[in-house]
Every structure is written in C-alpha cells, then in structure tokens.
C-alpha cells in the first residue's frame, strides 16, 4: 500500500493523503490524519457519497439527556447511606 501526505493547496493545517483500497474493501487512514482528527482504535466512522467522492466523518453520538445531566443538581438533604434498606420504611 502506498500512502502519500501532502499539504492541501489552500494552505490550511489540514492534510491530504492517498491510500489504496484492499481486496476486502479496506482503507487505512494515515497516522497523521488519525492523530489530527482524534481517531482512535474502534472509532466509528460515517461514509457518505458526495458527487464523485466519498466523505468520511467520525461518528460522535450525542450524549443521552440523562447521562449528560448526571450530577448537575445538588440536594440540600444529606446523601442516603450505601447500606440503607428501603424495606425499613415499610410499616408492619
């Protein structure tokens, strides 16, 4: 596989690279681009055909509303002990 890195003509910090498609349809994203975009092993990517080329974007799902707000609210009440038994609240 041949990979070549060259700066784009518009003189930005982005890089352009070429890579070959394997017989299994796999393409290696060059290390410099992976580092620049923060792509780690296991990162999901989205492929989109746009005209005569393919755009590849990292899939970064939005956090769920519950997970994104966890711990933001504080209670004036003291925390419940970890060994608290809810059944002790029931009246016999």
Domain range summary for the chain, segments of one domain joined by +: 1-62
Q: Which CATH number fits domain 1-62: 2.10.260, 3.40.50, 2.60.40, 2.60.120?
A: 2.10.260
What pTM did the predictor assign? 0.48
Answer with the residue of higher pLDDT: 7 or 54. 54
Q: Is the pLDDT of residue 69 over 60?
A: yes
Each residue's pLDDT tens digit, 1-34:
344 444 444 434 456 788 899 999 999 999 988 8
CB-based contact 77:84 (threshold 8 Å): no
pLDDT greater than 80 at residue 61: no
d(CA 42, CA 39): 8
Mean pLDDT over residues 30-40, rounded? 88
- Number of other residues whose CB lies within 10 A of the CB of residue 17: 14
């Amino acid at each position: 596989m041949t990979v070549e890195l060259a700066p784009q003509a518009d003189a930005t910090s982005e890089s352009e690279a070429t890579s070959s498609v394997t017989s299994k349809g796999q393409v290696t994203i060059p290390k410099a681009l992976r580092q620049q975009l923060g792509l780690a092993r296991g990162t999901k990517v989205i492929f989109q055909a746009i005209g005569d080329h393919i755009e590849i974007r990292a899939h970064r799902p939005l956090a769920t509303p519950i997970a994104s707000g966890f711990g933001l609210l504080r209670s004036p009440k003291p925390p419940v002990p970890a060994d608290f038994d809810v059944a002790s609240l029931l009246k016999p």
